[in-house]
Amino acid sequence: MKIAMCLFPEIDGKWHYALQMGVTEAVAIGGGVPIWEYLPAARLVKKYQDFGFNLTTFEGWLPMDHIKRGTEGIEAETEQFIAAIRNLGALGVKCFCYSWMAKYSWIRTSFSKQTRGGALTTAYDDEVSTSSPEYQGPPIITEAKLWETLERFLEKVLPICEKEGVMLAMHPDDPPLKRVFGTERIMNSVDNFERLLRLSPSKANGITLCQANFAAMNADVPATIRKLGADGRIHFAHFRDIVGDAHHITETFHDAGKTDMYEAMKAYYDVGFAGVMRPDHAPVMWGEDNSEPGYMPLGRLFAVGYMKGLMEGVEKELGLRARPNA
């Protein structure tokens, strides 16, 4: 298990901060590069490598809404996805993080809620969704349709993923509700993640353990890591936390949420998690301009130090790291 930083393709201060903190694993996030074409994908991977990073994971990037909704354009998106997986496999990328949120990706109703010391954080209030005109009518995308399209998608792409050595890692719905505005959702409970794993026993059919979303489900996060990671199918982890639940979420500093983060870290060691783990959404601190809510550097610098401390403590407890003067 190694700490990674998610880095957009444009080189900025976050690239430098990561290496200066001793983080050499990168997660490519964002988009704008057609990774279903080999040469642009190769140049992008080489860009991270030339800077000093080991790039093993891509997050997002590919258009998938037609695939999820089963609408016109599904074939073109599926062909792009398969081509991208083949390219990433050839370039040594081992994991692709995706979600099954249709129409809307992760949603927040505030990017400016104040938290500790006046830092700005993101929040979600479900009343904004439930009071919207879109919520009043029947859902435009149903739970049944999403399960149907997901099963069809996995049947098509998992054989290619297995051949290329690229693991798929499903991200939970964010927020993990049964419905947001006019769309229903399915990756919103531990039971449904177990159902996902039952759709195919392939190791390539795996999970992104985004801790805060499972916390928003009111799940016991360490127990969930042990349950879903028992057969080695947690391929990627987002280390973050919240207070509240799926209906009322406030994101917190990594040491200030509802999860026992030490026990969560210990659970990854218990299941033999061998992927990368990145700090996810962090509050925007004094002096930052909030131009990228949740992704400004200072809160994530704090998170990396906190994660390193937790890892050192767990490794010493488990006898994996010598104690000073031992």
In a domain, 244, yes or no: yes
Tally the domains of the chain.
1
286 found inside a domain? yes
Domain of residue 286 covers: 2-317
Examine residue 323 and state whether it is found in any structural domain, yes or no: no
Residue 240 is assigned to a structural domain of this protein:
yes
pLDDT in tens, 195-234: 999 999 999 999 999 999 999 999 999 999 999 999 999 9
pTM > 0.85: yes or no: yes
> Is 66 contained in some domain?
yes
The answer to whether residue 228 sits within a structural domain is yes
Q: Of 60-69, 200-209, 317-326, which one has max mean pLDDT?
A: 200-209
Strands (E), the chain: 2-7, 25-30, 54-60, 95-99, 110-114, 120-125, 167-171, 179-180, 183-184, 205-210, 234-239, 242-245, 248-251, 276-279
**Mean pLDDT across 265-279:** 97
- CATH number, domain of 94, equals 3.20.20.150
Note whether 240 and 213 are within 8 A (CB): no
Nearest-angstrom CA–CA distance, 22 and 123: 31
Residue 324 falls within a domain, yes or no? no
Q: Specify the pLDDT at position 325.
A: 58
**pLDDT at residue number 278:** 97
Stretch 116-135: mean pLDDT, rounded?
A: 93
Q: What is the mean pLDDT of residues 256-279?
A: 97
Residue 119 in any domain: the answer is yes
Q: Which residue has the tokens 């435009």?
A: 140
User: Which two tokens mark 248?
Assistant: 């009322």
